[in-house]
Amino acid sequence: MEITADPVLSYLEELVRKNAPGRLLLIEPCHTSRQRLQGVAGIECKCAVSNADDSLSGDTAGARFDLAITFPPALTQLTPPQGRQLISRLRDQLANTVIVCVRNDETSSNEWRIGDFIALGFRRSPKSVEINTEISIYRYDIRDYKTTPDWLNSRYWANPERWDRERW
């Protein structure tokens, strides 16, 4: 199952350019996707290619990647619990940024819904709606996973220098 839709691959190339990873992990890419993304990443980028079973079993233990991209065949080969385990492992242990590409027929079935990805901390890429109706792209980036709320600053915490001025 290749990603034959060129706009999706172009968008993935744009994400690779934007992230400029030093280490890139590709899970279940087709030959064309692999070559194009490795070409965009450049020769200084260490690129690893894996299948879903190897990534799930821990063959990439000890490695930390800047960007991991999972292609549609990866989730179709696994049961839903194994798929959640793979995505969680990528998110928690293997990569700072994770991109999951999934076919829409999988997301509309009982196995994969948009809520499953949201529950795992992923956001649907807004551009995936614009570029393709066959493949949905979900993204997790530790750098923008949670925005800092307004109340979380020193102004709202106990300040000993203000104890004599205000009472609560």
1, 18, 100, 153, 157 from 107: Cα distances, Å: 16, 27, 12, 39, 44
Provide the pLDDT for residue 63: 77
The helix, strand and coil proportions of the chain, stated in percent and rounded to the nearest 5, come to 45, 20, 35
pTM: 0.80
Q: Please give the pLDDT value at position 159.
A: 65
Task: Give residue 128's pLDDT.
Answer: 80
Q: Tell me the backbone φ, ψ of residue 103, rounded to 5 degrees.
A: -70, 140
Give the pLDDT score at 74. Answer: 86
Give the model's pLDDT for residue 87: 92
Report the pLDDT value the prediction gives residue 68, as an integer from 0 to 100: 93
Look at the block and give the residue holding tokens 């490795």: 38
* pLDDT tens across the length of the chain (168 residues): 455 457 888 889 999 999 889 899 999 888 888 888 888 888 888 888 888 877 777 666 567 899 999 998 888 888 888 889 999 999 998 899 999 998 877 554 547 888 899 999 999 988 887 876 688 899 999 888 777 777 776 666 666 666 677 665
Q: Which residues pair with 135 in a beta bridge?
A: 103
140's tokens: 């997790």
pLDDT recorded at residue 1: 44
Helix (H) or strand (E) holding 139: strand 135-141
Task: Identify the architecture of domain 6-162 in CATH.
Answer: 3-Layer(aba) Sandwich (3.40)
